[in-house]
Amino acid sequence: MDKIQMTTPLVEMDGDEMTRIIWKYIKDELIIPFVDLKTEYYDLGLENRNATNDQVTVDSANATMKYGVAVKCATITPNAARVEEYNLKEMWKSPNGTIRAMLDGTVFRAPIQVKGIEPCVKNWKKPITIARHAYGDVYKASEMKIPGPGKVELVYTAADGHEERVLVHDYKEAGVAQGMHNLDGSISSFARSCFTYALDTKQDLWFATKDTISKKYDHTFKDIFQEIYDNEYKEKFEAAEIEYFYTLIDDAVARVMKSEGGFIWACKNYDGDVMSDMLSSAFGSLAMMTSVLVSPKGYYEYEAAHGTVQRHYYKYLKGEETSTNPVATIFAWTGALRKRGELDNNAELSKFADRLEKATIDTIENGEMTGDLKLITELTNAKKLNTEDFIKAIRRTLEANE
């Protein structure tokens, strides 16, 4: 069989630990035998980030802006323990943070649903997609430990030098303080990404903040969404028979639990971080969640929503058998290949992505799966496979489905 040809390369961002091992298995077993894979390769593994003073992360984001589509492996965000473990020159920043700050935009996360792995919430019949704002708030905050009595103020010094101040707190004892920010431009592009994605996928859009308490900060998010909706999207939504719905975050949480799914839930940065893990666990597993960063300029970066699965990697290093779920990483590749196919008018490539996703789902529905899924499946014929054998099983299904 001839391999499917590619015209434009994908930006390939390699990563760390168990997901780096899986990355190679996926390429070797599931992609390279079928596609004449063209990538521009960036090694975002922690050792190379350290060796390049993290320049490689910046280069990979620039390449994404050049080519439009990237696929990223999970990477370690260094903490003090990692600085020691990898003998790092510095506690390098989160690569996702760096890339998101450069591309801007919104992260969309949706569960991958398979028969036999049912959501714990019985009434969820359709996937719920989380749209997470990828800029600012607590992720770009400045913090202080307040050692004892004294005042903390927010001071705005305008370009012309005039000042505005608000009191944060008049401390009578030690405590903590935090200043965070966001930008109208970033909130606007968040809103536009969400409205566009809702139209693309023909799903309702929900958005929620805590505007009753945060009367300036969160209220600005609410106002910008409403203004952009009214001016740019209202008619399109009505024509597509979908709805934009704003409510308070606590009300949204309650309604999500009672809903049947099938909508996009736009969340501020922190809410999206927390709620996407809640949703993915409730839908089955963190490893059954797709994740794509959509920038307002039309750049796409596909990844898995989970981390580098460190615990499994240490078992792997000791030569012990691992059963790490590669599904989210496979779907990062298929998402990127499908998008590349769309942009290049390469229908064969997009069709291959569909076939690989189907083969992955069929394999699980036939009872072959990794340990995390075996624990939660309702299938009675389920068999736990190790990481490599599961990927080989997907290849067999893919070839048998031809």
Q: Which is nearer to Mg ion, 233 or 331 (CB)?
A: 331
Which listed range, 27-35, 71-79, 177-185, 233-241, lies at the site for ligand NAP (CB under 6 A)? Answer: 71-79
* Helix, coil or strand: residue 82: helix
| Under 8 Å between Cβ of 177 and 146 | yes
252 contact partners, CB below 8 Å, separation of at least 6: 206, 208, 265
Residues within window 324-343 making contact with ligand NAP, judged by CB under 6 A: 324-325
* Helix, coil or strand: residue 283: helix
Burial of 268 (0-12, 13-18, 19+ CB in 10 A): buried
Nearest CA among 160, 161, 100, 157 for reference residue 132:
100
Does residue 76 interact with ligand NAP by CB under 6 A?
yes
Q: Which does 273 bind (CB under 5 to 8 A by kind): Mg ion, ligand NAP, none?
A: Mg ion
Q: Which is nearer to Mg ion, 97 or 367 (CB)?
A: 97
112 contact partners, CB below 8 Å, separation of at least 6: 288, 289, 290, 327, 328, 331, 361
Q: Which is nearer to ligand NAP, 4 or 305 (CB)?
A: 305
Q: Give the residue, chosen from 75, 98, 186, 295, that forms a contact with ligand NAP under the rule CB under 6 A.
A: 75
Q: Which two tokens stand for residue 171?
A: 């401390």
Q: Which is nearer to ligand NAP, 187 or 332 (CB)?
A: 332
Q: How many CA atoms lie within 13 A of 303 on its CB side?
A: 23
Does residue 306 interact with ligand NAP by CB under 6 A?
yes
| Distance of alpha carbon 68 from alpha carbon 88, whole angstroms | 31
Residue 230, beta-bridge partner list: none
Q: Which is nearer to Mg ion, 75 or 203 (CB)?
A: 75
- Quote the distance between the C-alpha of residue 237 and its chain's center: 25
Q: Which is nearer to ligand NAP, 96 or 259 (CB)?
A: 96
Q: Give the residue, chosen from 8, 62, 310, 366, that forms a contact with ligand NAP under the rule CB under 6 A.
A: 310
Shortest Å, Cβ 397 to ligand NAP: 19
Q: Give the residue, chosen from 195, 372, 382, 394, that forms a contact with ligand NAP under the rule CB under 6 A.
A: 372
Q: Which is nearer to ligand NAP, 132 or 306 (CB)?
A: 306
Does residue 96 interact with ligand NAP by CB under 6 A?
yes
Residues within window 247-286 making contact with Mg ion, judged by CB under 5 A: 273
Which listed range, 35-43, 148-156, 300-308, 358-366, lies at the site for ligand NAP (CB under 6 A)? Answer: 300-308
Shortest Å, Cβ 179 to Mg ion: 22
| Distance of alpha carbon 104 from alpha carbon 65, whole angstroms | 11
Residues within window 26-45 making contact with ligand NAP, judged by CB under 6 A: none
Measured CA distances, 380 to 16, 383, 396 (Å):
34, 9, 22
Does residue 309 interact with ligand NAP by CB under 6 A?
yes
Shortest Å, Cβ 311 to ligand NAP: 4
Backbone angles phi, psi at 300, to 5 degrees: -125, 130
Q: Give the residue, chosen from 125, 311, 383, 396, that forms a contact with ligand NAP under the rule CB under 6 A.
A: 311
Shortest Å, Cβ 169 to ligand NAP: 32
Helices assigned H by DSSP within 214-370: 217-228, 234-240, 249-258, 269-283, 310-317, 327-343, 347-365
Which listed range, 27-35, 165-173, 223-231, 309-317, lies at the site for ligand NAP (CB under 6 A)? Answer: 309-317
| Distance of alpha carbon 9 from alpha carbon 374, whole angstroms | 36
What stretch of H or E contains 18?
helix 17-26
Q: Which is nearer to Mg ion, 328 or 394 (CB)?
A: 328
Query: At CA 291, angle to CA 350 and CA 239, rounded to 5?
Result: 70
| Distance of alpha carbon 277 from alpha carbon 264, whole angstroms | 15
Q: Give the residue, chosen from 64, 203, 308, 334, that forms a contact with ligand NAP under the rule CB under 6 A.
A: 308
How many residues bind ligand NAP (CB under 6 A)? The answer is 17
| Under 8 Å between Cβ of 10 and 27 | no
- Quote the distance between the C-alpha of residue 234 and its chain's center: 27
Q: Which is nearer to Mg ion, 273 or 342 (CB)?
A: 273
Q: Which is nearer to Mg ion, 40 or 273 (CB)?
A: 273
Shortest Å, Cβ 351 to ligand NAP: 26
Residues that bind Mg ion (CB under 5 A): 273
Residues that bind ligand NAP (CB under 6 A): 74-77, 96, 286-287, 303, 306-311, 324-325, 372
